[in-house]
């Protein structure tokens, strides 16, 4: 039986019509047909048939209707199910949806012919208005609206498919015009109509359709056409026949790269308005962009497209004569208006910055007098004429460090130009991305750099960019002199500045980061800093980074030129820069350990480049007091940021600056150095700084120096003793940090219960202080103890809160370790699929995961694959982890874990000697760290290795490993696997006895046992 509802109700059975009389019966059948083959509840049917009430006993009335409908239809077509009814029949509506989906998918896949077939078949199912026999009932009206929308969409897809398949466009135009008339505000019919008219050879009508619809949208909705219609419109503009267009544009010898969005915007604004000015720094490619757009639009202007190059003229009086000369007018300005009024014309007025006032007067006068004239100007600053639309031309986008640069326009430009001088050149690694970043993505600088590959490698070029103005020379001989070298490009802009602005810009060149009016005033001494900053923005020598504060940035290339010009003033201005940011850091420092830290973290993050530059200058200048004070003030900020290795490196650098006497802040810097070294998994060997004791441990960071140093040397007793000497009171943050350090000391000697108490106390104190970074760290340690104890839900809760806190601090990148731990906790709870998905997302190209977090993610994925028996996948992840470890500086604990993983793989392959070699290295790395929980992981592999030869020894090793871990770690899959084999071989009682022997050892004894077992064969 077949039911049709896409039109008047039609029922057939075996090709014969089936009559269904009565409006209520037909409505009932239509409601059931909306869900063929599925149960429709009696309640839904009652609401559908009697939306406004109906008989008193509507359920009984429904049963009666169903009985009558059954008598009309072939037997068995309506079945009773618990709570409702099912219609067993083919229905046209679902078939229509299926065919429409298939057609739409084929259209998107480029199979136009198949799309046409499916969509025509779908639309042929319609016989009139959908659900016509139930019209007026809310359920039917709602469904009808939906189906009509799908029908319209399918009709549009069918027309698009016809166009793509090469159908005669003239026949489609009338259909589209009717469709557009029925749907006056729907964009897609207009886009298809523009395409059809264009295909039919009627471009003027196509453009008129766009213009009329754009006017309707602007008037009725206050909006612009969408992307599909804009693209159809631009396609017409770009392909208007250009048989012998008038003008003087030359065809560039090289291809145009990037800027698609800017090209479309400029074309649209020239159509809607009459003056567009491209503004941007020298070398950004304004002229190339302007001529590209002008060339694309040349066919639109019967009066021609004329390029007027102003760079070579000497003064403002020559602007008018330059335009007249290009147009071939012998009497100069006298006939300009007459010549430009005859037909629609586009003038490209290039390089207006040195004659900007004269250019503005001329443009204003010509646009007023010549209604068909359009002007496209390029300048370092705006013309300032009424109706002017500004198009900033920023540098090309560059890839972030470590990011795949193939999609970057800057890298694409470099590669294309480099291949022209070095055949076969391809982009490998990040060196080209680094070059493009160093050159700020400036197209001219990139082209000059690519040309240097004639004589040097990309690596050598990157090394020499510190002297970029000597390296980047040799532009085309046909170019203007100021475009032949990078220095000339920047000097052109610099020389146009008034003296006061030039001195101001030179002093700003000491800012490697962003600039605020306040910091500019402090460093340059300028009283009108905001006004001067905005003037430099107008002249394209500064970029606005954040207009809400406001905040500005100078491109590195411009900054380097300014530093050269600064010359004798450089040391004094840099010293003022150090003082400015030392003051900021010291004001921020006490607030970083409390509830109000977010605003100060945000501010320090915004000034990070300036702070680091100030620190480096103080170090290089031998200014020990400024360097150490700045390091001490920033130590907590760096700790919050999470890159502990970099924090330790900077603090070690400042503490090594020679000084004759104690300097304020050195005890805090020492504590920050020691604690960040711990968190970075650093090495205490041959580090005299870690042997120093603070003279005054009252500062919260200074109090951490001794216990943190003890963690690094493995002298747990000394660390605990140093903590015991501290008074129990103090501010909440200091109490929390000290309890967290105690937890690490206790955990490293296997006292997990005491460590758990310490972590809980630290967590409470950090909450009291309101400091998010420390609380995130405490929660991370708490999650580790919960995972070991088998409380996976508690571990997940702690880790999710930790990740949320880091996100509040703007440190999503720092949460990589927490994400790995969360995935491990999920896996151990049984949710392995989700764990794998989360880890896979971290290593996916473009995920932005910092390199230091890729190693633990890869190790965790390797472990999951190994536990699942997928040896090949495990080997792949471990190999990738090894490559990352070889590429970036990372924790020695990760090297230990990787060696243990390789040992586990070797045991699985039946290669005990190879496993022993890996395990010896793993234990040595863990002991040197020192990190006993990591040594325990190696111990689990030792137990597995020994289980085949001597299960009793293996059980004792597991007991010793539990001493190092501070817990049996029974939920660890490697422990569970080894213990299972041992129990099977020994029995529970013997296994427990041997395990307890190992469990009674101290840390030193446990390590000795592991070493002894590795010596046995």
pLDDT tens digit sequence for 963-1008: 999 889 999 999 999 999 999 999 999 999 999 999 999 999 999 9
- Token representation of residue 348: 């490209």
Whether the pLDDT of residue 475 is over 60: the answer is: no
Q: What is the mean pLDDT of the chain?
A: 87
Per-residue buried b or exposed e for 987-996, using 16+ beta carbons within 10 Å of the residue's own CB = eeeebeebbe
Sheet of 373-379: strand order equals: 305-309, 345-350, 373-379, 275-279, 388-392
Question: Structure tokens of 317?
Answer: 């009086």
Local confidence band at 76 (pLDDT 50, 70, 90 cut-offs): confident
Virtual CA dihedral for 712, 716, 719, 720, nearest 10 degrees? Answer: 150
518: left (phi over 0), alpha (psi -120 to 50) or beta: alpha
Which residues neighbour 168 within 8 Å (Cβ) at sequence distance 6 or greater?
none
Q: Which residues contact 449 (CB under 8 A, 6 or more apart)?
A: 414, 435, 439, 461, 465, 471, 472
CA–centroid distance for 440 within its chain: 19
Using the predicted structure, report yes or no on whether residue 573 has a pLDDT greater than 60.
yes
Q: Supply the pLDDT for residue 860.
A: 96
Residue 476 binned pLDDT confidence (cut-offs 50, 70, 90): low
* Per-residue pLDDT at 649 exceeds 60: yes
Cα–Cα distance list, 910 to 460, 904, 950 (Å): 48, 10, 16
Tokens of 107: 């259209």
Exposed/middle/buried for residue 455 (C-beta within 10 Å: 0-12, 13-18, 19+)? exposed
Q: Is 966 helix (H, G, I), strand (E, B) or coil?
A: coil
Question: Going edge to edge, which strands form the sheet with 90-91?
Answer: 16-17, 10-13, 2-4, 90-91
pLDDT digit string (tens) for 753-812? 888 899 999 999 999 999 999 999 999 999 999 999 999 999 999 999 999 999 998 887
Q: Tell me, what's the pLDDT at 249?
A: 83
> What distances in angstroms separate CA 1001 from CA 972, 975, 997, one per listed residue?
21, 19, 7
Residue for token pair 């008037």: 219
For residue 657, name the pLDDT band (cuts at 50, 70, 90).
very high
* Banded model confidence at residue 458, pLDDT cuts 50, 70, 90: confident
Q: How far apart are CA 474 and CA 445, in angstroms?
A: 11
Provide the strand spans (E) within 669-826: none
Confidence of residue 332 (pLDDT cuts 50, 70, 90): low
Confidence of residue 407 (pLDDT cuts 50, 70, 90): low
pLDDT surpassing 80 at residue 329: no
The average pLDDT across 642-651 equals 86
Q: How far apart are the first and last CA of the chain?
A: 79
Q: Which SS3 state, helix, strand or coil, does residue 390 take?
A: strand
User: How far apart are alpha carbons 490 and 442 in whole angstroms?
Assistant: 12
Question: Which ranges constitute the DSSP H helices of 543-665?
Answer: 556-566, 570-588, 597-606, 608-620, 624-641, 644-655
For residue 147, give both structure tokens: 């189906």
Contact 663, 625 (CB under 8 A): yes
Nearest to 863 by CA among 839, 890, 887: 839
Phi/psi of residue 277, each to 5°?
Answer: -115, 125
Query: Parallel, antiparallel, or unpaired: how do β-strands 275-279 and 388-392 relate?
Result: parallel
What is residue 72's three-state secondary structure?
A: helix
Residue 650 neighbours by CB under 8 Å, 6+ apart = 612, 615, 631, 634, 638
Distance in angstroms (rounded) separating the CA atoms of residues 962 and 752: 10
C-beta of residue 974 within 8 angstroms of C-beta of residue 924: no
Q: Record the tokens describing residue 243, joined without a space.
A: 């048989």
Q: What is the reported pTM? A: 0.66
Provide the pLDDT for residue 331: 62
359 band by pLDDT with thresholds 50, 70 and 90: very high
Tokens read off for 787 = 């995972």
Confidence at 242, pLDDT banded by 50, 70, 90:
very low
3-state secondary structure of 259: coil
Strands 275-279 and 373-379: parallel
d(CA 656, CA 670): 11
Distances in whole angstroms, Cα of residue 364 to Cα of each of 31, 374, 601, 841: 68, 11, 49, 56
Beta carbons within 10 angstroms of residue 823's beta carbon:
28
pLDDT at 96: 94
The pLDDT of 592-612, averaged and rounded, is: 93
Which residues make Cβ contacts (< 8 Å) with residue 145, sequence separation at least 6? none
d(CA 105, CA 791): 47
For residues 943 and 1013, what is the distance between their CA atoms, to the nearest angstrom? 9
591 burial class (0-12, 13-18, 19+ CB within 10 angstroms)? middle
201 Cβ contact partners less than 8 Å away, ≥ 6 residues apart: none
Cα 260–chain centre separation: 21
DSSP-based three-state secondary structure for 379: strand
Q: Are 873 and 865 in contact (CB under 8 A)?
A: yes
β-strand pairing of 78-81 with 40-41: unpaired
Phi, psi for residue 86 in degrees, rounded to 5: -130, 135
Closest-CA residue to 119 (of 105, 140, 109, 133): 105
Hey, what are 554's tokens? Answer: 């100078």
Write down how long the chain is. 1017
Beta-bridge partners for 294:
none
**How many angstroms separate the Cα of 495 from the Cα of each of 515, 612, 616?**
22, 31, 31
Distance CA 954, CA 950 (A): 6
């Amino acid at each position: 039986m077949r039911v049709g509802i896409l039109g008047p109700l039609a029922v057939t059975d075996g090709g014969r019509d089936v009559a269904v009389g009565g409006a209520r019966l037909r409505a009932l059948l239509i409601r059931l047909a909306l869900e063929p083959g599925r149960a429709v509840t009696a309640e839904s049917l009652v609401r559908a048939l009697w939306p406004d009430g109906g008989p008193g006993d509507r359920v009984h009335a429904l049963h009666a209707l169903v009985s009558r409908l059954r008598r009309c239809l072939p037997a068995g077509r309506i079945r009773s199910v618990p709570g409702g009814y099912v219609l067993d029949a083919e229905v046209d509506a679902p078939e229509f949806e299926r065919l429409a989906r298939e057609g739409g998918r084929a259209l998107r896949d480029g199979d136009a012919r198949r799309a046409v077939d499916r969509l025509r078949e779908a639309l042929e199912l319609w016989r009139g208005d959908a659900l016509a026999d139930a019209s007026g009932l809310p359920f039917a009206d709602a469904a009808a609206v939906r189906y009509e929308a799908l029908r319209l969409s399918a009709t549009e897809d069918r027309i698009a498919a016809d166009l793509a398949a090469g159908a005669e466009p003239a026949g489609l135009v009338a259909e589209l015009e009717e469709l557009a008339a029925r749907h006056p505000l729907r964009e897609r019919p207009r886009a298809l109509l523009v395409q059809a008219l264009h295909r039919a050879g009627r471009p003027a009508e196509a453009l008129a359709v766009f213009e009329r619809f754009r006017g309707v949208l602007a008037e009725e909705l206050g909006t612009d056409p969408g992307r599909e219609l804009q693209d159809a419109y631009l396609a017409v503009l770009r392909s208007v026949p250009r048989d012998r267009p008038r003008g003087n544009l030359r065809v560039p010898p090289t291809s145009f790269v990037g800027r698609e969005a800017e090209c479309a915007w400029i074309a649209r604004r020239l159509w809607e308005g009459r003056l567009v000015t491209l503004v941007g720094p020298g070398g950004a490619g304004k002229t190339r962009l302007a001529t590209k757009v002008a060339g694309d639009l040349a066919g639109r202007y019967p009066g021609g497209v004329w390029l007027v190059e102003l760079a070579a003229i000497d003064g403002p009086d020559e602007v008018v004569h330059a335009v007249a000369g290009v147009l071939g007018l012998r009497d100069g300005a006298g006939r300009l208006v007459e010549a430009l009024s005859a037909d629609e014309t586009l003038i490209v007025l290039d390089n207006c910055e040195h004659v900007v006032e004269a250019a503005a007067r001329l443009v204003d006068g010509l646009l007023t007098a010549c209604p068909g004239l359009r002007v496209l100007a390029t300048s370092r600053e705006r013309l300032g004429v009424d109706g002017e639309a500004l198009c900033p031309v920023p540098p090309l986008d560059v890839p972030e460090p470590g990011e795949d640069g193939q999609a970057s326009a800057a890298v694409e430009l470099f590669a294309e130009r480099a291949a022209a001088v070095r055949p076969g050149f391809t982009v490998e690694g990040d060196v080209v991305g680094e070059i493009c970043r160093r050159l700020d993505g400036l197209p001219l600088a990139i082209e000059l750099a690519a040309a240097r590959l004639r004589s040097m490698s990309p690596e050598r070029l990157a090394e020499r960019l510190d002297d970029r103005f000597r390296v980047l020379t040799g532009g085309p001989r046909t170019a203007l002199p100021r475009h032949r070298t990078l220095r000339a490009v920047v000097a052109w802009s610099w020389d146009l500045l008034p003296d006061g602005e030039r001195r101001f810009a030179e002093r700003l060149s000491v800012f490697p980061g962003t600039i605020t009016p306040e910091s500019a005033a402090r460093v340059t001494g300028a009283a009108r800093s905001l006004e001067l900053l905005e003037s430099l923005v107008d002249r394209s020598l500064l970029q606005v980074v954040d207009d809400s504060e406001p905040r500005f940035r100078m491109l590195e290339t411009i900054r380097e030129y300014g530093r050269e010009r600064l010359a004798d003033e450089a040391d004094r201005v840099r010293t003022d820069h150090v003082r400015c940011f030392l003051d900021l850091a010291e004001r921020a420092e006490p607030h970083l350990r409390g509830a109000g830290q977010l605003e100060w973290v945000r501010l320090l993050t915004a000034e990070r480049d300036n702070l680091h530059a100030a620190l480096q200058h103080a170090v290089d200048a031998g200014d020990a007091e400024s360097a150490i004070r700045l390091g001490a003030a920033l130590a907590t900020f760096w700790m919050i940021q999470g890159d502990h290795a970099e924090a330790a490196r900077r603090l070690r650098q400042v503490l090594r600056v020679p000084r004759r006497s104690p300097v304020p802040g050195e005890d805090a810097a020492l504590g920050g150095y020691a604690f960040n070294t711990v968190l970075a998994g650093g090495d205490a060997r041959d580090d005299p700084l870690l042997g120093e004791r603070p003279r005054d441990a009252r500062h919260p960071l200074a109090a951490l120096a001794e216990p943190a140093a003890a963690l690094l040397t493995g002298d747990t007793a000394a660390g605990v003793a140093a903590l015991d000497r501290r008074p129990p009171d103090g501010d909440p943050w200091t109490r929390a940090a000290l309890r967290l350090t105690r937890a690490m000391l206790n955990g490293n000697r296997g006292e997990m219960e005491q460590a758990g108490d310490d972590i809980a106390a630290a967590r409470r104190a950090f909450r009291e202080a309101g400091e998010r970074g420390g609380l995130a760290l405490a929660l991370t340690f708490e999650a580790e103890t919960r995972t070991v104890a088998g409380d996976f839900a508690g571990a997940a809760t702690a880790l999710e809160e930790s990740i949320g806190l880091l996100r509040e601090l703007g440190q999503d990148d720092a949460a990589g370790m927490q994400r790995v731990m969360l995935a491990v906790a999920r896996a151990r709870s049984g949710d392995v699929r989700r764990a794998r998905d989360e880890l896979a997302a971290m290593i996916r190209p473009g995920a932005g995961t910092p390199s230091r977090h890729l190693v633990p993610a890869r190790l965790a994925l390797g472990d999951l694959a190994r536990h699942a028996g997928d040896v090949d996948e495990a080997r792949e992840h471990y190999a990738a982890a090894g490559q990352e470890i070889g590429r970036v500086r990372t924790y020695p604990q990760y090297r230990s874990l990787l060696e243990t993983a390789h040992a586990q793989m070797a045991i699985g392959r039946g290669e005990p000697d190879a496993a022993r070699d890996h395990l010896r290295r793993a234990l040595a790395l863990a002991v040197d760290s020192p990190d006993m929980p990591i040594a325990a992981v190696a111990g689990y592999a030792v137990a597995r290795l020994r289980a085949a030869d001597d299960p009793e020894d293996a059980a004792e090793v597991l007991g010793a490993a539990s001493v190092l871990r501070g817990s049996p770690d029974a939920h660890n899959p490697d422990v569970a696997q080894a213990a299972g084999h041992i129990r099977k071989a020994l029995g529970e009682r013997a296994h427990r006895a041997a395990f307890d022997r190992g469990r009674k050892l101290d840390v030193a004894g446990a390590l000795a046992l592991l070493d002894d077992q590795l010596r046995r064969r």
